[in-house]
Amino acid sequence: MTDARLEVEDLHLWRGEQHVLRGVRFALQAGQCLEVTGANGSGKTSLLRTLCGLMYPEEGQVLWNGANVRADLRAFHAALVYLGHEPPLKADLSARENLRYWIGTRWRLAAPQLAAALERVGAGACSDRLVRTLSAGQRRRVALAALALLAVPLWVLDEPTTNLDAAGQQLVGSLLAEQLARGGMVVAAVHQGLPAAVHEFGEPRQLELAA
């Protein structure tokens, strides 16, 4: 899908008395990556959540392929995956069960696909353990398996490398590189910069939010 494009026009978002997003604008083409940086509290997460349509901006709009996403939010959601700070996993289900239920609500999955994705992110050995017994890094890896499973054009990631070791950072890099290589887009809020593999596809575009 080479004509996919994401445009954000002049977003203004208020949270109570706080003017969090002050006229944020950017455009992203297929195969491009946007790195959102900024100090704590500068509104990175708010921007990502507004982008996904979870929050309503006071002004401005998000355009997907030229159409306001509010017009058909469900179609837009079907085209994106959002990973927040915390991996959306149930402590009382195993890694495999978590993915089955979570991704299964979006895609029909075969068991081998699930196993392959868990293997891919290095969580194959702990796929049958309850998530409550996994470390933060392992949970993050399980959540990343969702990215390996969902072939959607837009990835919206909030700090995708938190809690990951060096190998995990590389894994994020290779997942992102793959997404960009096949013409997907990535919007990622980061603190330490994205893994090197991403830079092979041209410098990621930068967006710095002022606190």
- Give contact residues for other proteins (rule: CB under 8 A): 1, 52-56, 72, 74-82, 84, 86-93, 97, 100-102, 104-110, 112-113, 116-117, 119-120, 148-149, 151-153, 178, 181-184
Please, what is the minimum distance in Å from the beta carbon of residue 20 to other proteins?
A: 13
Determine the 3-state secondary structure of 11 from DSSP: strand
103 forms beta bridges with none
Please, what is the minimum distance in Å from the beta carbon of residue 192 to other proteins?
A: 23
Give how far Cα 175 sits from Cα of 33, 46, 184, 195, Å.
12, 24, 11, 10
Q: Which is nearer to other proteins, 54 or 167 (by Cβ)?
A: 54
Q: Which is nearer to other proteins, 36 or 103 (by Cβ)?
A: 103
Please, what is the minimum distance in Å from the beta carbon of residue 56 to other proteins?
A: 7
Q: Which is nearer to other proteins, 24 or 51 (by Cβ)?
A: 51
In terms of Cα–Cα distance, which of 71, 55, 13, 72 is closest to 156? 55
With a CB cutoff of 8 Å and minimum separation 6, the contacts of 195 are 161, 169, 170, 172, 173, 176
